[in-house]
Amino acid sequence: MLIYIFLTTLYLSWLSYAHSFELYHDSGRVYLFGEDSSDKVKGWIKAIAKALVPSAAEDLVCWPFARVGRLSYTEGQSHHSPLLGWFSLGGSRLLLLLHGADRVENIDLRKIKELSMEQEAGAGAGAVVLVDGGRSLRVEGDRRPDFQGWLSGLQQGSGRGDGPLDQQQLTDTDVPVIVDRCMSYITQHGGWT
């Protein structure tokens, strides 16, 4: 049995609660929980998440994550034998415990070299490919209804977009890419006043 957790703070008028979260089951069922107290909802999410993840993956739920769950993935160029790993996403951080690993990895999404989407023709499924430091990780959607949220969260976390400068994609030296490119242009072509 696999269960995926997604936290949302949207107010759903028909639900009549200020805070809600969803549990996605591998069978396709979705369970929606709501409460007016954000502290109670956070407590529920932490308790449920800690009960679901293995003890080796407990670090995945001990921080303010937006999503946590078990996803199929492949590493490198081989897409033939996907494995299952535990993933936790929040802001610009992606924590993961890959199959057979004994420790949780922490990826700063603003520093990845490439983030690309692979959509299957005519299907809602697809995959996202993260390339960082010569390593390629392909996370698959498996036609799950919540995968679009994972894609959106990864895109936002990677700083690819129009967010504030402190949320933008970073170079290896922790300088926002847009600032680095501007400085390179000025250095190469000179500045006009």
Supply the CATH number for residue 14's domain: 2.30.29.30
Q: Are residues 86 and 15 in the same domain?
A: yes
- In DSSP terms, 132 is beta-bridged to 135
Output the furthest CA–CA distance in the chain (Å, rounded): 64
Same-domain status, 67 and 126: yes
Q: Model's pTM, two decimal places? A: 0.75
Mean confidence (pLDDT) of the chain? 79
Taking only the tens place, the pLDDT of each residue in 14-72 is 667 788 888 887 777 888 888 888 899 889 888 888 888 888 888 998 888 888 888 88
Structural domain containing residue 34: 3-160
CA distance 6 to 145: 11
Q: Are 45 and 31 a contacting pair, CB within 8 Å? A: no
The percent of residues above 70 in pLDDT, for the chain, comes to: 76
